[in-house]
Structure formats: structure tokens, C-alpha cells
Structure 1
Amino acid sequence: MSSQELMDDPSLAFNSNFSYDSWYIYEPIGAQDDMTSGVIQDCYPTIPYDLYHTCIAPISLAILLALSLLVKRKNLYQNFWDGAPGLLSPVNFLEEEGSNELTVAVFGILFSSLCVLVLDNDPLPFISNSSKHNREYWKIMALLYYPALYYPLVACATIRHRAGYFFGCLLSWCHCVVQIWQKVECPQSSKIYRYYSLLSYLPIILCLVVLSLWYPVQLVKSFRWKKMVDMEVPGSSYYEKYLKNILAKRAPKRSTNKPNPRMLSRLQSYLRSYIYTPEEGFQVPLKLVLSLAMAVIAVYQVALLLLVAFVPNIQIVRLGMTKEVTALFVQFGLVPSDNPTGLPGDKELETIKHYIWSLEVCFISSLVISCLLTLCMLMKSLVTHRFNLKRLYQGAVKDVLHRSCKLRPSQQALVCWMYFAGFQTAFACLGLLIQHIVIFICIVAFTFLVAIPLQSGTNMHLFKIVENMWPFWLTLVVAVIGQNLLTHYCFLERSHPTKELTNRRALYIVTYLLFPINVLVGVLAGVWRMVISALYNVVHFCQLDVSLLSYGAEAFDPGYRTYCHYLKIEVSQSHPVMKAFCLLLLQLHNPKRLKGFQLGDLEEGVKLMKTQKLSTKASKYKQNRARWYLLYTLLNNPSLLPYRKRALSDARANGTQTNPLKP
């Protein structure tokens, strides 16, 4: 065939190089019925989303107004809202009262709803078929609409009234029934993956089920133990347990002559640092429980989105792989070919499918590892939170914050306290995403550079590079081992009780001669330092209690700075001993609450609730010891330091201020 004929007919030249007819495939793979069977038809539930929100939003608003009229805030401001109804508080974050399950469930519904609307074409259910230009504005409006929609679900429980529990039952049942009914009728959707909508709504349905069971239980309790609920002071049981625990007389620990194995004890202490076990007399604050619960839900939502966005698409690519597409990988040398003509066959097609399957396995494995790693770090942070709070309750500020400071409210501290739960949730999302990317790259590199070449015996590029550089690696290994041996046997004198330097002239000579080699060792150490620093920051990114910067630069870490200020507000405003002391004063002021109590119980500050009778023959030594413990605890209480007489700016003789603080 002449060159002129090839120039006149380009298709003839193309067919002369390849045995098949065309490179690109324009026809759909498979039959037409197979293509149309995978199309998900639009599903319209019996109760549409717009109708559901149109009905439930006014009902929620009416219930909130009814409860606000039921509870009047007369003492909020004497000259402004005297006698007028006030907006109900959703959650008393600084009070150890109520149920953590209720708060976590409502916030879980709110956060999951916001995760769903981020990828939704219609963020607001009232507005359908919104344009791309206005969609971002509707998303901002949705960030305000959904918190207002679910506001009554949590506010119904704060009034501790039978009417609130009844309205809570109605709202939770309405939300739960409608959400389950819609997902049963339309389990599939065309967004990202056919079951993504159903899987993303699972936390919402689970939290609604919890609310649907919690409110009826509280309603039944309000009928059976109404008097007991009315007389109970919120949080008094926890403050009593905490005070009893710190004032309890503990037996001295007996020293054992059989010490535990050093390695086993280290392993046990290391595992305890990652496993949180409940401790008697201590309760984790509500804000911490809420932030960690939202972080777990965030990990689930992000992992689900990554899974459904990658795995189904990579499976479609693997199933649709043909010999024509495989030829492209053969030409670039990504797939080895034993055919001397370079044309792909069945073996090459199976090889590329095996590569794509390996990529899918690497993605799933990295996602599982990153999720487990993030959950372990969150569990470890919970253990650290408890240790830090206990140390700050005792007044050991330097052990936690590494500097002396006063635990009192400030503008920055209060803003960071409001930021804390949101920051923890956002950091968990970003930490999971970064960990997944890094682990996925590492696993893919190991698979395609080490595992697959060892399995197939081809593409041994990494091993060839290492083989060609074996003199360099051998020199570094010999230099490192030689310096350690010389230091151990020649440059340290071990005959004395304390080790001393010896053979200093030889030490100077060896240091000078090995300087160039130590530079190369330093290059490897620098690379290892960079890798370790990056991996450490990636792994601990979701922890706010750990600073990713060095000592002295923690102020530039927004997460750690937010955590430190959060601790200041939490300790100064919710110290259990301070709350127990205030409850004791309230009981002394209200004679109705003193029934069944003895004066000795109140003086000790331990028996806030009568559990057993003290002996009338109790020695005065025990009473004095209990009073001394209580005095010492109150003197070192960080919550009471700003209110002492010497700390007040304009203090009178009786310790009161000229301008009293507003409530």
C-alpha cells in the first residue's frame, strides 16, 4: 500500500494499524430495555413535602405561642417584660437538668435535615423548581427555617409541665409518621444514588422515634408522680452525687510487692485513654455530649455521601470496560500486554477490570479506616474532656491551660462557648474528608506499586529504583548502626554510677568524618519529620482539645482556642460544688424543702437529699472534718473567685456591690 493511498483515505490508514473498525463507540452498550430499566421514575408521596411543611409549620408556631402564654417571665426585666410572655428556652446548656437524649435527638434531626438540603435542588419545601441564581438565597433561608421548625420539639420539655409533654407527643408523632410514610412510599430517588435519600434520612427517623417514645413516658410520669416532680430541684441529684464523691473518706491504697509487667501496664493505660467508661459522681456536660453526638452523625453523613458518589460509578465503569477502551491503557503502558502486535485481548481486559476493582477496594478500605480512626479520636477526646474538667474543678488551671489565667466570663470566651458544638461538628467532617484522601492515596500507592507488582511480576518500577540505589541505602544503614555501636561501646564510660564521656578525641574525629553522611541521614529524617507531622495533624484534626501548633502558638489554632474558652465558661458557670452550695442555700431559705433533714446534714453539705439517718452519737471530729472539706472546696472553687469581697470593684462592708449584677 502506497503512502499516497494512505493520505487520500485516512480511514484506510487507521484500519491498517488496528484490526477493529472504530475506536469510539457511539451505540449504547446492551439492549435498549436494559438502559431504560435503570431509570428511576419520579415518585410523588401521598403527603407532599410542601403540603406537609405548610401544615406543620403553623401548628408548631401555635404550640410555641401556647406554651409561651402558659409560662410567663415576670422576673426577667422588671421594667420591660413584666408579666408578658417570653420565648421558651430550648435547652439549658449550663444546667444539669433535663434529658440528654432529648437534646441530642432534636439536634440530630436539625443537623441531618441541613445535610440533606445542601444537595437538594429545592432547599425550601415551600418553593419548588427554584432557579440556580436564587437557590443559594433559599439555602440561607433554610438555615433559619429548619431551626425554627424543630424549636417546639425541644422547648416542650423545658417547662416541665404536663401540657408541654402532651404537645411534644403530638408534634413528635406527626413528624415521625409523616417521615416514615414518605420513605415507605418513595424509597428510591434519582439524586446521586437511588437509595441515598433513604439512607440519609435514617438519623432523622431514628431521632424522631426516640422523641416519640420519650415524650409519652414523661407524660405518664407527670400523672403518676406529679408532686415529686414539682418538688424536685433540677440537677440536684447530680450535684449531690458529685459532692458526696469528693467529700467521701477514701481508704488508703495498699502497696503491693508484685508490680505489674511494665509493658502490660503501659498497654492497659494506653487503651484506657481511648475508651470512655462512666465514672461515679461525674457527669459530662450537655454541650460536650451534644457536640460529640453531632460529630458522629456528621461522620455518618459524610461517609455515606463519599460512598454513594464513588462506588456505584466505579462499578459502572468496570462493567462497561471494553477492549477498545483497554487499548488506550495498553498504549500508555498502564496495562502490560503479552501480544507482540500490542492489540488488547481478553487477558488485558481482565487485567484492567482487576485494576478498577482494586481501586474500588482501596476506596472502601480507606473510608472504613478513616471512619474508625475518627470515632477513636472522638472517644479519646471525651476522656480528655473529663480529665480537664476534673482538674479545673479542683483549681489546677496550669495543668490544663498551661498558663495561669482567671476562669471568668468574657466576650471572647462566651462567643467561643457558642461556637464550640458547631466547630466540633465541622472539624469532624473536614477531618474525616482529609483522612480519607490521605489514606486512600497511601493505600492506592501501596497496592499499585507493591502488592500488584509482587502478584503479577510486572511494573516493578519501585523495586527497580530501590535496587539501583542499594549502595546509598547500605551506606546510610551502616553509618547509623556504626555511630550507635561506637557510642555504646567507645564514647560512654559505664563503670561509674553515672555515665560519662570518654575517648573524646576519637569522638571528634568520627563526628567530623561522618558529617557528609549525616547530612544525607538528615534529609531522610527531615522527610520522615514532615510525614509524621502531616499524619499527626491529619489524625488529630477532629480533636479540639489538642493543638496542632507548637507550644506558644496555640492562640493561632482556632479549634484549640475555642476549646479553652469553652472550658472557662463551663467551669465558671456550672461548677457542681457551687451549684450544690446554692441548692443548700435554697433549702435553708425554703422551710418546705427541709422536711426530713437534720441540721448536721445541711452543715456537712453532703446530704442534700435524705438517704439514711445519721447516728446521733456522731463525733464532732467528723462534723469538723466535713465542714473543713467544704470550706476548702469553696475557697478553691473557680466559679466563686470573681465574687469574693476582695475581687469586687466597689464592695461594701457586707460584701455586696453598689450596682448589682443583672440576672
Structure 2
Amino acid sequence: MASNGSAGIRDFPLDPGIFLDEDLGSDWYIYEPTESAAPSDDLFPGVIPECHPTVSPRMYHTCMAPISLAVILALSFLVKRRRLHLSCCNGVPGLLSPANFLEEESSRGPAVAVFGILFSSLCQLVLDKEPLPLASPSSHSAREYWKILALLYYPAFYFPLLACATSRHRLGYLAGSLLAWGHCLVHVWQKVECPQSPKIHRLYSLLSHVPTVLSLLLLSLWYPALLGRSLRGDSPEREIPGSGYYRKYLKAVLSKRGRKGSSVPIEESLQSRIRSYLRSYIYTPEEGFRIPLKLVVSLAMAVIAVYQVALLLLVAFVPTIQIIRAGMTKDIVVLLVQFGLVPSDNPAVPGDMEKELRTVRHYLWSLEVCYICSLALCCLLTGAVLLRTLGAHRSNLRALYRGSVLDVFSEPRSLRPSRSAVVCWMSFASFQAAFACLGLLIQQVIFFLCSVAFTFLVVIPLQTGTGSLLFGILRNMWPFWLALLVAILVQHLLAHSQFLEQHSLRKELTNRRALYIVTFLLFPTNVLLGVLAGVWRVVISGLYNAVHFCRLDTSLLQRGVETFDPGYHSYCHFLKVEVSQGHPLMKAFCFLLLQRPEMPALPRDTRLEEGLHLLHHKHLAPGKARIRRIRARWCLAYTLLRNPSLSSSRKTALADASANGARLGVPKP
């Protein structure tokens, strides 16, 4: 029988009766059975021939890597380090910055696009046999060293795509346009010539490159737009980056809005509570506030990570289960019936297995449906959780901006940067993408197992009208479940009617002797209820932590040990750096200083501080200049008083342990 089974597995495409009542005409799958007889090799990826595009990956990287290096070296002469050697060619050339992460730039799409290209390249790097396109590994052990080298190569390769914009020069915009067009044309041409690939799935290579192509298209349109604005004379390099945002934030903070009535409703209906809960998952922009660039990049990378992992899980499982379902034969069904995995009316007649064959195929189809539904549910839950984190980020940042440290952290913390804070700030976006990948994998395993258990224990027995293990347990143990239910109802009724006495303003315990007697008598029953409650606690905590695994703004551990959570630890230090280095009021104050009108020089008095020079100048310009100067001084004074980053530096707070976040006491004379 084993030989017949192996022969059936090997030659099942030659039997046309296998595919009766089977509709597999979907273009998604890689291994569809055809109507005519086909060789057995059609079921394996080797049937898709290797495609060699005109511009191979090695040729592409060999040509573009020197061009990118030449562009970044040429643009480095636009950035002068004048503090190093002022006499040497008006300063030493410096390397361009990829993006001003601690500044509020006007455009964030290019940064997200380049990081998306880099992350997609990392996903391809994990699965490629040749991780470094410039060289081929000689052995399997050498491939791991090439992967480590590729981790440094790809960031350097795509570095000029983002750094060309930070030069704020027409040459940089022109070079960025040429690089973006070159990368985009090569990627699109390669996918047009070779849309299918034998790796994992014939469409996996094409679908996994969708974020890369979209990002390159965005850069191909954005750089020419910047170049056109620069040629027209309204280029953004004449303005200080982010100055407009800081002015809007300052106006939003200083504006007075009247409140009509109470802001908190006394009694809220169930419908309004459900509506407010659903609205908490929708991020609505607020006037005068903008999410920092690093947070935007981290969330975008999490979304791309979810897409890449979901695509890999889909193409790795669904075609495989489709092959097994299409290749199921009567010989294999006989083995499954003998092991008791498939119910059979006539197990002694192995030749008549048409009904059992349809049953096995239905089981495999149910597995496929469970897998796809659980994967779709995991993607939706992860997307909703990531969307809700935007509101949490905004509330945490606004609380820290106004100095309310205890509203964000469980204990007072200093907002000054440290060594670990800088390290966590650098790795925050990477952590967010990695946690999104792992969270989706964990969710998929849990929800797939739960859906399979529900399908085979509840749905299929109800469809076929047969009994299942779950129904048997419930039927045999119904007195036990009824006793537990009665015990719960009795305790609630006694607590409501006999053990609580309602007064006008409060409730008090009564009939204490009866309460003690019932407590003692129901102790064994409550032990069994505690076992069920413990099982439910494990289930609900596992589901909650699996769904919220990708959130770094909340710890999966309780307070006191939450610092052992690496995700939450990195998020807390990330907030420290963002608030201390990118406080909008502090930046607005700096812009006010840079934009104050020129005043005649005064005799320098070393006994006065610079702030007194600004506030006690006697020669005032008439008209609008005087009004503008008064408004600027008032905003400066208000900013200095309300800036929490400066509170710990005041004389009255130097000896106070509750500085930087807590309220300061009345200064002693």
C-alpha cells in the first residue's frame, strides 16, 4: 500500500478524475492544474525559467554605486566645515546629512520613501542567495559575511537619494532628480522584463518590490518639483527650516479659546461611548501640532513591515496547501481513514473513497480559508493599533512640552538627553519595524490556531451533523457547568439582596454572620471558578499582548518592572531626546531672536544680562516696528517663563529636587 501511495503522489496529474468539481482557475497560485495532461514538473518552482533582464542587478549596482559615490562627494563641497580650517579653501568639505530628524521640515514624504526603499532592500537581503549584488559568495558560510557587508552597503548606496535635498542647492536637486530617475527606470524595467520569479512564488518578487517602486516614483516627482521652485526663485532655502511650523505652534498655544459650558458630560450614553471609542482609533490632525519626523518614519516602516511579512506568509503557505489539496488521492485517503483522521462509513472497502476524498479536500480548503482570514484579521488589527498610537504620541508629546512629566511616566524623570537616550533615539524606527514584524507573526500563529480549532470543533460538526470532541465534553459535563453557573448566580443575588444595605449616600455590609457562613461553604466551588478565571486570564492576557505587541508607547509589563521592556524603554528615551532637542516653544524663541530688528549698539555693561539689554532698550522705533518689537519681547518673556526645559536652570530651582517637570514652590527671599 505504501508503494501505491507513493506512486499516486508522484503521478497524480495524469489522473483526470482527481480534479472533478475542483475550480482552481485563480491567477494568484503558482501551481494550477490544467485541463490537459501535464508533466509532474509543473508542480514545482522549476517550471518557471530563470529570467535574466537586460540590466542585471550586478550591472545595475556596478554602474549606480560609483555614480552615487561621485554625487555625494561632489555635493560635499557645498557644505563647508569652517571651524576646522578656515584658511583651507574657505573651509573643509563636509558630508551631507540625510535628513534633519530633529527639525520640522516641510516635506516628510522623501524621508519615508528612502527609508521604505532601504527596508524593502533588507527584506530582499534576508531571502536572496546573493546578498551583495557586486559579488557572489563562494560558499554558504561566506554568504553570511556578505550579508553583514550588505547591511552596510545598502544604506550607503541609497544615502544620496535623501542627502541631495539637504544641500538646499540647485545642483543637489538636479543630482537627486537624475539619481531618482535612474533608480526608478531600472527597477521598473527589470520588473517589466521579468514579472515572474521562481523564488517562493512566481509573483512574490513583483509584489515585494511595490513599496520600492512607489517610493522611487515619489522621489522622481519630488526632486524635479524642488528644482523647478528653485529656478523660479521661490526655493525653500531662503527660509529657515520649520520656522513656519514653530510660529503656528506658538500662536496655537497663546491663543485663547472660550469654553461654552462644561467640557465633560455628566452622563454619557452607550452609543456615544462606542462612538468615542471608535474615534480614538482615527487620528485627526490638530491645529498647531505636527508629529515629529522620526515618529512618522517609524510608523511608515511598521506599515511596510506588516505588508512584507503578510505577503511572505501568504505566498509561503497558500500555494503549498493548494498543491496538497490538488494532489490528494484515494490511496492517501485510505491511510488517513485507517489512522482515524477522516471519518468513513465503510472503512473496510478501500476502493470506494469518493466521499472521503471530498471530505479531505474540504478539510484542506477550510485550513486555507482559516489561514487567509486570520492573516487578514491580523493585518487589520495591527493597522488599527498603529493608527491609535498616533494619538498616544501626540498626547505624550504635548504633556512633556508643558512639563507634565508624571502624566507620561510613572515616576519623575529628567528630560535631558543621556547616552542611553541618544542610542534609543537612533534605533527607535528600527525597533518599531522589527516589533511590527514579530507582532504580526505572533498574531498569525495565535489567530490561525484559534480559527482552526473553532472551525473543526464547531463549524464542521454542525455542517455535517456529526459530534465533536468539544460537544462531547459539554454534553458529558453539563451538570458541572450548571453547578458553577448556579453558584455564581447565587453569590450575586445574595450580595445584592442580603449582604448590602443601601443608604441614601452610601452602601454598607449587613448580615455579616450569614456572609461568613456562605463564604466558607462556597470555598471549594470558588476554587473551581478560580481555575476557570485563571485560564481566562491567560487567554485574555495572551491575546491582548499579541495584539499590542507592536505598540512601543505602552509597556507589556506592570509598573515597577516596565523598564525591563526594551520597546517601552527605547520609547521613553526617544521622548526625552525629542522634547529636549525639538521643543517647539524653544525653537520659536530662537527664531524670534534671529528675526528681531537691528538696533544701534549700546555700551556694553558686564553687570547686566543679555535679556535685560533686550527688555530695557530706550531707543524705540516708531510705528509698526515698535509694535512688532514689543510683541516679540512679550513672546520671549512668556516663552522663558513657560519653557520647562529652563525651569531647572533658574536660581530658585537649583536646590529643589522636584525641578524639571514638577511645580516649583514659592521662591525664598
Could you say which TM-score interval applies, normalised by the shorter chain?
0.7 to 0.9
Match of 2:11 among 6, 15, 28: 28
Instruction: Indicate conservation of the 8 Å contact 1:73/1:81, yes or no.
Output: no
In the aligned structure 1, how far is the partner of 2:650 from the partner of 2:264? 48
* 3-state SS in 2 of match to 1:283: coil
Distance 1:179 1:642 in 2: 54
Separation in 2 of the partners of 1:404 and 1:174? 52
**SS of the counterpart of 1:493?**
strand
Q: Partners in 1 of 2:109 and 2:88 — Cα distance?
A: 35
Query: Contact between 2:84 and 2:91, CA under 8 Å: does it hold in 1?
Result: no
For residues 654 and 74 of structure 2, the distance between their equivalents in structure 1, rounded to whole angstroms, comes to 42
Per the alignment, residue 239 of structure 2 pairs with 232
Distance in 2 (CA, whole Å) between partners of 1:129 and 1:86 is 35
Residues 281-318 of structure 1: CA deviation (Å, up to 9, x unaligned): 00000000000000000000000000000001110100
When the two chains are superposed, the root-mean-square deviation of aligned CA atoms in Å is 2.5
Query: Which residue in 1 is equivalent to 2:317?
Result: 310
Structure 1 counterpart of 2:646, from 634, 640, 645: 640
User: 1:492-525 deviations in whole A, cap 9, x for unaligned?
Assistant: 1114431111111111110111111111111111
Matches within 5 A, 1:436-451: 436-451=444-459
Q: Distance in 2 between matches of 1:403 and 1:141?
A: 42
Provide the residue aligned with 1:155 in structure 2. 163
- Taking a change above 3 Å as real, the CA distance of residues 596 and 156 of structure 1, as seen in their structure-2 partners, is farther
* Matching residue within 29, 44, 53 for 1:45: 53
SS of alignment partner, residue 93 of structure 2: coil
> Residue 134 of structure 2: SS of its match in structure 1?
coil
The one-letter amino acid paired with 2:344 is S
Whether the 8 Å CA contact 2:79–2:95 is kept in 1: the answer is: no
The answer to whether the Cα contact below 8 Å between 2:589 and 2:636 also exists between their aligned partners in 1 is no
Q: Percent identity?
A: 61
**Does the 8 A contact of 2:375 with 2:444 survive in 1?**
yes
Encode CA deviations 1:364-399: one digit per residue, 9 max, x unaligned: 000000000001110111110001001111110000
Residue 547 of structure 1 aligns to which amino acid in structure 2?
A: S
Note if contact 1:75-1:82 (Cα within 8 Å) is conserved in structure 2.
Answer: no
Which one-letter code corresponds to 1:640 in the other structure? L
| Residue in structure 2 matching 1:143, options 151, 157, 168 | 151
> Which residue of structure 1 aligns with residue 291 of structure 2?
284
Letter in 1 for 2:644: P
1:63 aligns with 2:90: no
2:19 alignment partner in structure 1: none
Q: Distance in 1 between matches of 2:629 and 2:565?
A: 46
**Corresponding residue to 2:250 among 226, 233, 243:** 243
Q: Aligned with 2:544: secondary structure?
A: helix
Equivalent in 354, 369, 379 of residue 387 of structure 2: 379
- The question of whether the paired residues in 2 share the 8 Å contact of 1:577 and 1:634 is answered with no
Q: Deviations over 1:466-503 (max 9, x none)?
A: 11111111111000110000000001111443111111
List aligned pairs for 1:295-306, cutoff 5 A: 295-306=302-313
Deviations 1:443-477 (A, max 9, x none): 00000011101111224211011111111111110
Q: Distance in 1 between matches of 2:626 and 2:293?
A: 33
Change (3 A) 1:230 1:434: closer
Cα distance in 1, alignment partners of residues 641 and 163 from structure 2: 37
1:217 to 207, 225, 248: 225
Deviation at 1:232, TM superposition (A): 1.3
Corresponding position of 1:125 = 133
Which stretch shows the higher mean deviation, 456-465 or 275-284? 456-465
**Structure 2 vs 1, CA of residues 600 and 417 (structure 1 numbering), >3 Å: closer, same or farther?**
same
Equivalent pair of 1:366/1:443 in contact (CA under 8 Å)? yes
| Shift of residue 47, structure 1, vs aligned partner | 0.8
Which of 357, 366, 370 in structure 1 is aligned with 2:378?
Answer: 370
Q: CA deviation at 1:642?
A: 5.5
Unaligned residue ranges in structure 2 (runs of 5+): 15-36, 600-620, 656-669
Compared with structure 1, are the counterparts of its residues 102 and 23 closer, same or farther at alpha carbon in structure 2 (3 Å cutoff)? closer
Look up the SS of the partner of 1:401 in the other structure: coil
The separation in 2 between residues aligned to 1:576 and 1:130, in whole angstroms, is: 54
**Correspondence 1:620-631 to 2 at 5 A:** 627=634, 631=637
Determine helix, strand or coil for the equivalent of 1:404: coil
Provide the secondary structure at the position in 1 that maps to 2:645: coil
Whether the 8 Å CA contact 2:84–2:92 is kept in 1: the answer is: no
Which stretches in structure 1 are left out of the alignment for 5+ residues?
Answer: 1-13, 15-19, 606-625, 650-663
Distance 2:479 2:87 in 1: 87
Q: 2:500 maps to which residue?
A: 492
Query: Higher mean Cα deviation, 557-566 or 31-40?
Result: 31-40
| Matching residue of 1:598 | 625
Distance 1:342 1:603, change over 3 A: farther
Letter in 1 for 2:11: P
Mapped partners of 1:596, 1:379: distance in 2: 49
Residues 1:79 and 1:455: Cα distance change in structure 2 (over 3 Å): farther
C-alpha displacement of 1:328:
1.6
The aligned runs of 1:312-391 (5 Å cut-off) are 312-339=319-346, 341=348, 343=350, 345-391=353-399
Q: Distance in 1 between matches of 2:576 and 2:115?
A: 24
1:285 to 1:504, Cα distance in 2 relative to 1, 3 A: same
Asked if structure 1 preserves the Cα contact closer than 8 Å seen for 2:592 and 2:636, the reply is no
Do residues 427 (structure 1) and 432 (structure 2) align? Answer: no
State the SS of the aligned residue for 1:500: strand
Change (3 A) 1:349 1:83: same
How far the C-alpha of 1:587 sits from its partner, in A, is: 0.9
1:394 aligns with 2:402: yes
Task: State how many pairs are aligned.
Answer: 607
CA contact (8 A) 1:431 1:538 kept: yes
Does residue 204 of structure 1 match 2:207?
no
1:89 aligns with 2:92: no
TM-score, length-scaled by structure 1: 0.87
Amino acid in structure 1 at the alignment position of 2:178: L
Counterparts of 1:525-536 in structure 2 under 5 Å? Answer: 525-536=533-544
Query: SS of the residue aligned with 1:25?
Result: helix
User: Of residues 562, 584, 591 in structure 2, which corresponds to 1:583?
Assistant: 591
Q: Which amino acid aligns with 1:24?
A: S
How much has 1:128 moved relative to structure 2? 2.9
Amino acid aligned to 1:84: V
